[in-house]
Amino acid sequence: MELSAIGDILVAGLLRGGLFVLMALGLSLIFGVMNIPNFAHGEFYMLGAYFAYFSRTLLGLNPVLCIIMAALGGFIAGSIIEMTAFKALRKRSKGNWVMNSFLLTVGLSILLQNLAQATLGVRFMGISHYWQGSINILPNISVSIDRFAGFVIAMATVALFYLFLHKTKTGNSIRAVSEDEDGAMLVGIKMNKVHTLTFALGALLAAIAGAALLSINPAYPTMGLAPLYKSWFVVILVGMGNVWGTVIGGFIVGIVEAFSYYNLGAGWQDVVSLMVIITILALKPSGIFGKSVRGVWDR
């Protein structure tokens, strides 16, 4: 393989991976704090894309504002869903929470997909570009500004999110709940608030990803499935509950996909990604950075 090809693959993989990171981060956060394996995560990605599309076409906002609108929309949708569905389930749950909440998210996914389809139709709703043109990020390698901007937005969001989790009181309480729910309750952290906030933030991250990619992937009702399982790839690859490992995992999956795309053509990237994951899990069942898979899965 030529050197320039390797450069192409790395750049494409990193740009691709940046948005997987964003998706996987939300998924991992919701699982780590609330023990919900979210099957409806892709639907928030879809919602984000629609919010951005309508902010752009109907309101004519500038691109950054579009993405902020999508983030807000995702946040609000996430909190409404958490306060209605998951709160009700938590009240009634008698054990087997992981499985029951997972099935609830399956229902949620069907519901949101078809609500979108019923109200907006199956038409692709996309925009040609946020920002026109392309830039050279390395001599010889040029990418469209949109892709690059998407990457920058993703990384900025991840950085902000890191600061939020580690430097603010609310962020600390989210981390406390993920480490020890009973202990967090004992020191007076309001569980309901933390749960709602966590779910809403996870939805927000997915919505930003959907919005940032709008010019590349137009919005349509079932667009969420591929990003969903790709973010699950990432989360399983690095090990459950490891929020920051997902950053590296996202890039790994992105590069693996770019590599298989380059060498085998479209359509094979899922097969290749899976091979990589199986090999890694066969060697280290808890994932690359996972300490132990036990416990949390059986709650």
Partner 1 sequence: MTNLQSILNKQNTLSDNKFFKLLGVSPFGVAVFIILALSPLFIDDQYVMHLLISSLMFGALAIGFDFTVGFINIVNFGYAAFMGVGAYTSALLVSRLDLSPVLAMLAGSILAAILGFLIGLLTLRLRGMFAAIMAWFFGITLMSLAANMVDLTRGHLGLNVPILFPGAGRDAYFYLILGITAVTYIVLRKIINSHIGLAFRAIGQNIEAARSSGVDSTKYRVFNFTVSCFFAGLIGGFYAFFVGVLTPAVMHTRVTVEILVLCYIGGRGSLWGGLLAAFLVIPIFEYLRPLMEIRLIIYGLLMILVMIYYPGGLAAVYAQLVDLIRDMLGMKSKSVTG
Site for partner 1 in 19-58 (CB under 8 A): 37
Closer CB to partner 1, residue 123 or residue 166? 123
Binding to partner 1, residues 107-136 (CB under 8 A): 107-115, 117-118
Q: For partner 1, which stretch binds (CB under 8 A), given 191-199, 208-216, 241-249, 263-271? A: 263-271
Examine residue 283 and tell whether it contacts partner 1 (CB under 8 A). Answer: no
288 in contact with partner 1 (CB under 8 A): no
Strand pairing category for 141-144 and 134-138:
antiparallel
- The count of residues interacting with partner 1 (CB under 8 A) is 44
From the list 218, 222, 204, 228, the residue with the least C-alpha distance to 49 is 218
Least separation in angstroms between CB 297 and partner 1: 4
Examine residue 236 and tell whether it contacts partner 1 (CB under 8 A): yes
Binding mask 181-220 for partner 1 (x = CB under 8 A): ----------------------------------------
Instruction: Find the shortest distance in angstroms from Cβ 110 to partner 1.
Output: 3
Q: Is 285 in the site for partner 1 (CB under 8 A)?
A: yes
Our CA dihedral for 229, 235, 237, 241, rounded to 10 degrees, sits at: -160
Shortest Å distance, C-beta 140 to partner 1? 31
Least distance from partner 1 to the Cβ atom of residue 299, Å:
10
- CA–CA distance, 29 with 240 (Å, rounded to integer): 10
Nearer to partner 1, 84 or 170 (CB): 84
**Shortest spacing between CB 27 and partner 1, in angstroms:** 11
Helix ranges (H only) for 139-268 are: 145-167, 169-179, 181-186, 191-212, 225-238, 245-264
Q: Rule CB under 8 A: choose which of 51, 75, 233, 259 binds partner 1.
A: 233
- Residue number with CB closer to partner 1 (53 or 233): 233
The answer to whether 172 and 166 are in contact (CB under 8 A) is yes
What is the rounded end-to-end Cα distance, in angstroms, of the chain?
48
Q: Does residue 139 belong to the site contacting partner 1 (CB under 8 A)?
A: no
User: DSSP secondary structure string, 16-67?
Assistant: HHHHHHHHHHHHHHHHHHH----SSHHHHHHHHHHHHHHHHHTS---HHHHH
Dist. CA 87–CA 81, nearest whole Å: 9
Q: Contact between 298 and partner 1 (CB under 8 A)?
A: yes
Q: Is 282 in the site for partner 1 (CB under 8 A)?
A: yes
Q: Measuring CA to CA, which residue among 240, 297, 224, 270 is closest to residue 27?
A: 240
Contact letters for partner 1, residues 74-113 (x by CB under 8 A)? -----------x--xx--x---x-xxx-xxx-xxxxxxxx
List phi, psi (to 5°) of 136.
-90, 115
CB 198, min distance to partner 1, A: 18
CA distances from 5 to 11, 252, 261 (A): 10, 17, 12
Helix (H) or strand (E) holding 138: strand 134-138
